[in-house]
Structure 1
Amino acid sequence: MQLPSFAQPLRISRKRVLWKLAKAALDKDRPVLVQIVVTRRCNLACGYCYEYDKVSKPVPLAELKARIDALRKLKAVFVTLNGGEPLLHPQIVELVRYIAEAGMIPMINTNGHVLKAPLIRSLNEAGLFGMQLSCDSLEDNEVTEKSMRRLQPKLELLREHARFIVRVNGVLGSGNPEEMEAVANIVVGYGYIFQCSLMRDSSGQALPLSDEALQAYLRIRALKGRLPRLLNDNFQLPLARGENKKWKCRAGARHFEVDGAGLVHLCQPKTGAPAKPLAEYSVEDIRCQFQCSKACADRCPIAYAHLGSRLDGFRRQQHA
């Protein structure tokens, strides 16, 4: 039976994604990756996380659609729905569809614990391009509830039903390094992408790894099929060793975060700057932030910041 027109799957091919990235490479006024907070409410309480609460209501659908419209005018490429736990938003599928219909590429960051087959199929039909899940350990511990014991049944569901890219991220330092290595092997065994992130201090700067954790990280990096070349995490190697990484961060331009109130921030750790309403954020703001070097860049472990800035490593930054 043919689906009604409003339910037709919105497939986004990888060729189309590469074409959009190629166009963005030529136009430095376009954001590459924007994260939108759709709710601060979360169903977990991980010890290292301060991006959630237990009481917030979801951001109203009309407000989120207005923000997506603003990003369309800025010609953003990827739009990632964030939380809290974004799958707790009651209109999450409609938001994914709205992003896809606006010509942008919808993504979701989630712990995945509320995933069920009907929701996965609905996200397929809505045009979701990719989902990043979180898993830090084999079992829950005093720091994290993002365990493989909880996640593995969801990976089975995704393997059966998902038609979008699945990527799993683990924070190395939130548990036993050997457990993280075991998690990575399980994820890669499913054929999914695995990204290993570093713990951050209260200012958002990378914490160096212990000798044991560093060796585990190097073994994880050696896993075949862990990451495609375009998404490599080579920037983390000096940070993991306690060294600095020199690069040109384009926060506020190529990538930024929009909080639940609709304010633009350079990234999650740098909430408060520039804190300008997205509805007022313009190409002039993007150009200003593009040229600004960031004092926090040398020890920055934020993967999406590095990925969003890769198109412009050869371009100058003029001032701090």
Structure 2
Amino acid sequence: MSTHVRTALVSTAGHCKVACGFCFRADRAHGFLGTATYARTLSRLKEAGVEGVCLTGGEPTHHPQLRQLIRLAHQFGMSVSMVTSARTRGEVIALSQVAHLLANVTVSADSQGAMMLGRTARTAASGVDTLRAISTETKILHLTCWDLNDDECHDLACLVSGARVEVQFSPVVLDERALHRNGMVVQDYLVQQHLDADRLGHYFNVSGRYRAYLGELRDLQFPATGGERWSCRSGAAYITADGHIRRCPYSQASVSVHAPRAAIRHFLTAPAQDRVTPDCAAICRPSATSDDRSTSCAAPA
């Protein structure tokens, strides 16, 4: 069964200074996506029926031609959104200068436990400060959660309510090797995910889809607990910073944007050959509807 690709995640830069310990990014490189390659990519995506792009990174605010990337997508009739970790003065200025051109902006943040686990400093408060500084119609704070407590959830609820921003949650996703490095066992890890969901449920409208998603993650990461890995059903393509199109960041198959039009169209419309793996469990939600990105709980795009 083929899944129609409607959107594309675009890696504008191959490097990232945040370097989260639980980052889901599959590719690492140096340099930025070239505008000529990007324009060609947009043309081919448009021909395949793609309706919008989401600029990701590394960190998209570091791209020296960020405004042009957004304008080019608009010229092809595509909506543009962005996922960013912008915190520094320069990053926030770069974001604020283009924010009015974006359909929505998602700022990534981590809970206190997730910051310790991933060795990051992306607090929810600093993420909301970034969102306050920009003029975008839809502002979203995406929080990666681990080891939440009631005080933290209460403070977060007050923070986002006062800032008038949407909030999305996703659990930290670790494989068995990462669990071992952090002194955890599978059962304790799975229990903590559900404890975090329960605590969030006291302060936010945590949907049934989110809880079902935790079960899907369990089956993907630890097949011995039951369940099978399913074929890729992602509705978003992935564009690497060096100009290759994949059906998923972790896909082994790709096609160059310089390939013939027919080859690219076939690649984007043919059934995906990949099966979901633990590596991409954090970004693949087969049971979720296409509207889940706008709900209170969603996995990262």
Q: Is the 8 A contact 2:11 2:56 kept in 1?
A: yes
User: Contact 2:160/2:167 (CA < 8 Å) preserved in 1?
Assistant: yes
Deviation for aligned residue 1:80: 1.0
For 1:264, which of 229, 245, 257 is the aligned residue?
A: 245
Shift of 1:122: 2.2
* 1:123 aligned onto 2:103: no
SS at 2:32's partner residue? coil
The one-letter code of the counterpart of 2:194 is L
**What amino acid maps onto 1:147 in structure 2?**
R
Seen in structure 2, the aligned counterparts of structure 1 residues 246 and 89 have a Cα distance that, compared at 3 Å, is: same
Give the match's secondary structure for 2:15.
Answer: coil
The one-letter code sitting in structure 1 at the alignment partner of 2:265 is V
> Could you say what secondary structure the match of 1:100 adopts?
helix
Structure 2 gaps, min length 5: 180-185, 220-224, 292-301
Which of 261, 265, 281 is residue 283 of structure 1 equivalent to? 265
Match of residue 250 from structure 1 = 233
Report the count of equivalent residues. 270
User: Which residue of structure 1 aligns with residue 281 of structure 2?
Assistant: 301
**CA separation of 1:130/1:233 partners in 2, compared to 1, >3 Å: closer, same or farther?**
farther
Are the counterparts in 1 of residues 86 and 130 from structure 2 also a CA contact under 8 Å?
no
Check 1:187–1:105 CA distance in 2 against 1; reply closer, same or farther (3 A cut). Answer: farther
Give TM-score scaled by structure 2 length.
0.71
CA shift in 2, pair 1:177/1:117, >3 Å: closer
Shift of 1:29: 7.4
Q: How far is the alpha carbon of 1:43 from its aligned partner?
A: 2.6
Tell me how far apart the structure 1 counterparts of residues 30 and 154 of structure 2 sit (CA, whole Å): 35
Give the alignment partner of residue 216 of structure 1, picking from 196, 202, 205.
196
Residue 49 of structure 1, aligned match among 20, 23, 38 = 23
Between the aligned partners of 2:75 and 2:202, the Cα distance in structure 1 is 38
Q: Flag the 1:233–1:98 CA change in 2: closer, same or farther, 3 A.
A: farther
Q: Classify 1:124/1:202 alpha carbon distance in 2 versus 1 (closer, same or farther; 3 Å).
A: same
> Would the alpha carbon gap of residues 187 and 39 (structure 1) be closer, same or farther in structure 2, given more than 3 Å must change?
farther
**Shift of residue 258 of structure 1?**
1.3
Cα distance, 1:66 vs structure 2: 1.9
Q: 1:136 to 1:156 in 2, by over 3 A?
A: closer
SS state at 1:43 partner? coil
AA partner of residue 40 (structure 1): G
User: Which residue of the other structure, out of 9, 34, 53, is the alignment partner of 2:8?
Assistant: 34
Q: Which amino acid aligns with 1:145?
A: T
**Partner Cα distance (1:236, 1:61) in 2:** 37
| CA RMSD after TM alignment | 3.9
**What are the Cα deviations for residues 287-317 of structure 1, in whole angstroms up to 9, with x where unaligned?**
3225x5x532799633465488749xxxxxx
Residues 48 and 143, structure 1, Cα contact 8 Å, conserved in 2: yes
* Residue of 168, 175, 184 corresponding to 1:195: 168
Correspondence for 1:3: none
Provide the residue aligned with 2:295 in structure 1.
Answer: none
TM-score of the superposed pair, with normalisation by structure 1: 0.68
The structure showing larger relative contact order (alpha-carbon pairs under 8 Å, at least 6 residues apart) is 2
Question: Is the 1:85–1:111 Cα contact (8 Å) retained in structure 2?
Answer: yes
CA distance in 2, matches of 1:29, 1:300: 17
Kindly indicate whether residue 210 of structure 2 is the aligned counterpart of residue 233 of structure 1: yes
1:68 is displaced (CA, Å) by 1.8
Would the aligned equivalents of 1:198 and 1:301 in 2 still touch at CA under 8 Å? no
CA contact (8 A) 2:80 2:102 kept: yes
Q: Which runs of 5+ in 1 are unaligned?
A: 1-27, 312-320
